[in-house]
Amino acid sequence: MLKRAVQLEERAMRHEYTDKHQKKVFEDVLTERRYQDRKWGHEIDDTMNTPWMWTAYVCSYATKWMKDPFQFKREDTDELYDRMIETAAIAAAACESVLRQRDTKGKTFYEPD
């Protein structure tokens, strides 16, 4: 019963933002996801990208901005922001791929029969 109450509360909160910054971040992630979908589509996501590959993409994008970790200029933090948005969008793509595959085929291509 408690689990169901938590699920209902989470569903009610699903589209509420705590502040304007959170709203901006999620809007930017969604914009990036739409860009990625237009650029690559779903076929590679759903037929070739394994959990290892998704994790490698996330790690790669999350660290591309790092140059001198002790000297942060404005352009460094701008790049950090952009890379974190891209990273979040890639992580979302991985999650979407799992759900899409399970919805259409009952499992992902990398799960055993």
Question: What pLDDT digit, counting tens, does each position of 20-32 carry?
Answer: 999 999 999 999 9
Q: Using CA atoms, how far apart are residues 77 and 103, in angstroms rounded to an integer?
A: 38
What single-letter amino acid sits at 92?
A
- pLDDT at position 4: 65
Q: Is the dihedral of CA 33, 39, 43, 46 positive or negative?
A: negative
Q: Using CA atoms, how far apart are residues 104 and 42, in angstroms rounded to an integer?
A: 13
- pLDDT at position 11: 63
- pLDDT at position 1: 56
- In this prediction, the residues of the chain whose per-residue pLDDT falls under 50 are none
Cβ(97)–Cβ(45) under 8 Å?
Answer: yes
pTM: 0.82
Which among 6, 83, 97 is positioned nearest to 51, based on CA atoms?
97
